[in-house]
Amino acid sequence: MMKNLSGHIFPNRGTKELMSKLITTKTISRTLVSLFLVGVFVIRAQAVPNVVVIIADDQTWSDAGCYGSEIVKTPNIDSLASAGLRFDRAFTATAMCAPTRQQLYTGLFPVKSGAFPNHSKVKVGTKSLVHYYQDAGYSVGLCGKRHFGPPQSFPFETVSKGKLESFITQKDPFFLVYASNSPHLPWEDGDASAYDPDTFELPPYLHDNKETRAALQKYYAEITDFDRELGELDELISDAGKADDTIFIYTSEQGAQFPFGKWTCYEVGLHVGLVIRWPGKIKAGSSSDAMVQYVDVLPTLLQLCDLDIPKDLDGHSFAAVIEGRADQHNDYVFGVHTTRGIILGTQSYPVRSVRDTRFKLIRNLNHESEFSNVLIKGNGSSYWGSWVRDSTTDINAERLVNRYVNRPAIELYDLDQDPYELQNLAGLPEYRKISRRLDARLKQWMAEQGDHGHKTEMTVKPHATMQ
């Protein structure tokens, strides 16, 4: 190295050659780094999945072919399950429409969010999936039933059925919730003639008479009509060339509007159907016994989309189950029901439940009162009156009517041996330890949620038409 007159260093020829090589090497390295970063960006951009969630309305989880039904015709749901992952132990925490949908959208349990009565709203300031996905650059739309509030907590873009195709074919990644009104009462859609009520095999929690069979006939027809909607939506996704880039989810919402289903904490009410398809990411035709809840769905989707999961959510991601890295998730799942705010509901009849993989405990916190709702006293069914009529001469009808209306303080069921919860084990000495363990876990969860049972229920205003 040499110095000029000013004292600055300048290189000789050999040094120049060396520096030239270094500069060239650095330039190449920078170029490679830039290309790498561009490649990563492209790969990441291509890997951002769309999300579609299609929700039935009051469909009992087992009323689909992929879940074992030999009666209900659901070819599109079944096809989805054959191409994806079927969850056999998925649950909502509240078997009522608005609370169920809002826990799915927020990742929060009903009492904590404020949305635990029917037709309820979350607390002001509560965020939902709309905020998280919009912040990530997604278009977030809703087609169909809303049933939530306040609007600022769920600022969905409204997508009419006529605009579904344009929403799906857009350049931006999208999150679409398709919320059907089927098979919610009144059961008027679909082809009821496709079902012969005389051939039905009824589950033991339903009283078998012509009125119940006629109701089931219409209900099954609406499930098949919902299945048609699912198939048409799936076809739109496929025709747009988006199937491989879309996480497609079907769920049944909650149990149907029959006794021991909707408006209860029984398995028929809280257990839900849940199927997830993601081509190339999820093993086709697989199933899982992992216990998951609706509050777990949002954090799971956020993780699958490589987005941050807020720390204040109640739910926890089960992405490890989806990816085949785990086969279990929750040790316990929980349930909440309140009749306060329900049309023609009992003034206060708080019900809370907890279950593990085998046993279920239910606490009826105001069991001294009779249970009542619109199914019993209003126009919420076309068959309840026939059950009451038959109960005067039919011992099974009498047993079911009494069981639905008059409940003990504690119910305990062995779900392996008694999936329809017909034999209450509470009070039997051999189950005392199990009952205490479940009860302790339930009380712990209620405390975590700020749930004081009857006191919490009485903070809800009674429904205007309540008797």
Question: Is 66 one of the catalytic residues?
Answer: no
| 333 Rama sector, left if φ>0, alpha if ψ -120 to 50, beta otherwise | beta
Strands 271-277 and 85-91: antiparallel
**Residue 345: phi, psi to the nearest 5?**
-85, 155
**Active-site residue identified among 97, 143, 265, 305:** 97
Dihedral, CA atoms, 242, 243, 246, 250, nearest 10 degrees?
130
Cβ atoms of 148 and 105 within 8 Å: the answer is yes
Among 80, 137, 41, 133, smallest CA distance to 278 is for 80
Burial of 443 (0-12, 13-18, 19+ CB in 10 A): middle
How does DSSP classify residue 146?
-
User: How many alpha carbons lie under 13 Å from residue 99 in its C-beta half-sphere?
Assistant: 28
3-state secondary structure 9-36: EECCHHHHHHHHHHHHHHHHHHHHHHHH
Dihedral, CA atoms, 281, 250, 154, 295, nearest 10 degrees?
-80
Residues 6+ apart with CB under 8 A from 410: 361, 362, 363, 364, 426, 427, 435, 439
Would you please indicate which residues are annotated as catalytic (active-site) residues?
Answer: 97
